[in-house]
Structure 1
Amino acid sequence: MADKLKFVLALLLVAAGVAGFYLLSEQVLVLRVLAVLAGVMAGAATAWFTEPGQRFAVFVRETVTEAKKVVWPSRKETVQMTGVVFAFVVAMALFLWLTDKSLEWVLYDLVLNWK
């Protein structure tokens, strides 16, 4: 129950930040954006201290750990694979263009005699 109340408080803080943006409509834009950021940060800080918030923090840490285990391709591999993709796209575009023109010729010139 306490976690639900904390989440409601977090949502109210975010809503207060958004409301501050509109209530400060006569002020400079920087102050209005800071009001929204303050509301979002206060809401996030409040949500952080809930049990689901702590589980989310553990999930983020585990995600970062798993991302560090990934073997990322080298620059050379990336450039080569990009070249392969571009070559495939060009080949597929030529194939589709030829297919389209062939069907156009068959239908309009041979079948319908439209010239």
Structure 2
Amino acid sequence: MADKLKFALALALLAAGVAGFYLLAEQPLVVRVLSVLVGVGAGVGVAVLSEPGRRFVDFAREAVVETKKVVWPTRKETVQTTGIVFAFVVVIAIFLWLTDKSLEWVLYDLVLGWK
């Protein structure tokens, strides 16, 4: 129940920040944007204090750790893979064009007799 209240408070703070943007219409844009940022920051701060918020932060940290374990391809590998994909697409496009023209020839010239 407490987590639901924290989440509701976080949403209210976010809404207050957005409402502040419109209520401060006569103020400079910087003040209006700061009201939104303060609302978002306060909402996130309250949300992180809840159990689902803590679980999300833990998940995000683990995701960053796993991302650092990934072996990213080199520039050469990326260019080679892109070239292979491009060549495959060209080959498939030619195959589909030949199939289409063959079916067109069979249907229109041989079966229907339209020349």
What's the TM-score bracket when you normalise by the shorter of the two chains?
0.7 to 0.9
Amino acid at match of 2:47: A
Note if 1:85 corresponds to 2:85.
Answer: yes
Spell out structure 1 runs of 4+ moving beyond 2 A.
Answer: 20-38
Residues paired across the two proteins, number: 115
Q: CA deviation at 1:26?
A: 4.4
Q: 1:27 to 1:111 in 2, by over 3 A?
A: farther
The answer for unaligned runs of 5 or more in structure 1 is: none
- What amino acid maps onto 2:104 in structure 1? E
- TM-score of the two chains, using structure 2 as the length reference: 0.88
Q: Distance in 2 between matches of 1:33 and 1:104?
A: 61
| Identity fraction in percent | 75
What are the within-5 Å matches in structure 2 for residues 90-109 of structure 1? 90-109=90-109
Spell out the pairing of 1:1-115 with structure 2 (5 A cutoff).
1-115=1-115
Shift of residue 61, structure 1, vs aligned partner: 1.0
Shift of 1:69: 0.9
> What is the distance in 2 between the residues matched to 1:40 and 1:14?
5
Residues of 1 paired with 2:49 and 2:108: CA distance?
70
Superposed CA offset, 1:18-57 (max 9, x none)? 2223333444544433332221121001111112111111
Cα 1:31–1:90 shift into 2, 3 Å: farther
Distance apart, 1:62 and its partner CA: 0.9
Q: Match for 1:83: what amino acid? A: G
SS of structure 1 residue aligned to 2:72: coil
Unaligned runs of 5+ in 2: none
